[in-house]
Amino acid sequence: MLGWLFKRDKQETRSAASGFTAEIMAAREAYVSGRRGIAELTATAQACISMWEGAFALGDVSGTDILDRASLALIGRSMALRGEIVFLINDAGLIPCADWDLRTRNGKPTAYRLSVSEAGGGRSLTALAGEVLHLRIGCDPVAPYYGTAPLKRASLTAGLLNAIETALAEVYENAPLGSQIVPFPESQDTDLEKLGRGFRGRRGRVLLRESVNVTAAGGPAPAQDWRPQDVSPDLSRSLAGETLQASRDAICSAFGVLPALFTGNAQGPLVREAQRHLASWTLQPIAMLLAEEATNKLGSAVMVDLLRPVQAFDVGGRARALSTIVEALAKAKEAGLAPGDLNTALTMVNWGDSDKAA
C-alpha cells in the first residue's frame, strides 16, 4: 500500500546522434525542405579535400606502426568532410567506424557505442574510451566531444556556392545559348505554342517565329522580317562570374588553402607559399592533435609530421640558413667560445636548447 513511497523514478537516458545517422537525418530534412546548402559536390571543395587527404597520406609517423597510410588518408578526408573520425583499436589495427554514440563525464568521453560497416551488413559493439581513437576539430564549447567540418562552420558561403553552381548548371542545360529568333512572313498553320516549347535547350540554331509584319493602328508595323534576334541570356548583368569566384575563394579560405593557388598565373614561389600556409596553419595542428590522441590511447610517444613530406618550406631559404649557421659555428670555434655562450646566442634567435620555441 505504501510501496509508492519507496518507488523511484527510472533515470531516463537518451542517445544523441552525432555521426553518420545524424548527417543522414539532416540531409533528409534538407531534401524535404528543398535546400541542401552544401558545397561538397563542387570541384572547389573536392580539390581542397583532396589536398587534405594527400597531405595526411604522406605524413611521417614515429612511435607506432598502427597509423598506416590508408588510415592517415581516411583521417584527412574525414576531417575535411565531417570534422571528426572514430577508430576502434584492436589487434587488427585501426577499424574505422561509420557511426557512433558516446557517453561523457566532465565533458570527456568515457564509453562508446560503435557501428562498423561490413560488406554483408554492419555490426554494433561497445567500447571504453581507452579502446577508441577519436579525433575531432572545430569543437564547440557547448559540446566539446563533437567535431564540425569546415563547410559546416561556413554553411552560408557553402550554400551560396552550391546555389550559384546549381543555377548556372540549369542555365547551361535549358537556355537556348547561341540561338537566334528570325521572324518570317505570316503563316496560318503555325502552332506558336509548340514552336515556343521547341525553343528550350536549342543551342546554336536558328529559330523561327511568326512575322510581325502586320497591320496595327491603321498602318503597317515596322518591317522586321528576316532580321535575327539573339536569345542568349545576358549573365554579365547578374555578376554570376564575380560572385562564383568570390564564393570559391571563400571556400578555399575555409579549408586553409590560399585562393591564389588556383589562379591561372600562379608561379612556383606562390605555390610553395600556399603549401607552407596550408601545412603550417591548418594540417600540422590537426596532426599534432592526432599525435596527442594516439599518445594517450596507445601508451607510447607518437609524432606525426606533415611539413617535411610535403616539402612545406622554402628549400632555398633553408639551404642559405644552413650555410650561415655552419659558417657561424666555424667562426665561434675559431674564437674559442664555450658551448654555453654559443647556446645563449642561439637561444636569442630561438635555436638554442630550452628556448621554449616549437
- Under DSSP, is residue 116 helix (H, G, I), strand (E, B) or coil? strand
Residue 4 domain-assigned?
no
The cell for 198 is: 521547341
Euclidean distance between CA atoms 88 and 96, whole angstroms = 6
Same domain? For 97 and 170 the reply is yes
The cell for 156 is: 552560408
Residue 192 domain-assigned?
yes
Same domain? For 22 and 111 the reply is yes
Same domain? For 268 and 157 the reply is yes
Residue 91 domain-assigned?
yes
Domain tally for the chain? 3
Predicted TM-score (pTM) of this structure: 0.73
Give the tens place of pLDDT for each residue, 248-297: 999 999 999 999 998 888 887 888 889 889 999 999 999 999 999 999 99
Give the tens place of pLDDT for each residue, 304-350: 999 888 876 767 777 787 788 788 878 888 888 777 777 777 676 66
The cell for 345 is: 646566442
- Under DSSP, is residue 332 helix (H, G, I), strand (E, B) or coil? helix
Euclidean distance between CA atoms 73 and 78, whole angstroms = 9
Q: Contact at 8 Å (CB) between 185 and 209?
A: no
Residue 7 domain-assigned?
no
Structural domain for 223, as ranges: 176-232
Residue 2 domain-assigned?
no
- Under DSSP, is residue 227 helix (H, G, I), strand (E, B) or coil? coil
Residue 43 domain-assigned?
yes
The cell for 226 is: 528576316
Residue 77 domain-assigned?
yes
Euclidean distance between CA atoms 248 and 154, whole angstroms = 12
Residue 9 domain-assigned?
no
Least confident of 5-14, 183-192, 344-353: 5-14
Same domain? For 146 and 188 the reply is no
* Residue-wise burial string across 242-271, b where 16 or more C-beta atoms lie within 10 A, e elsewhere: eebebbbbbbbebbbbbbebbeeeeeeeee
Same domain? For 281 and 345 the reply is no
Same domain? For 339 and 246 the reply is no
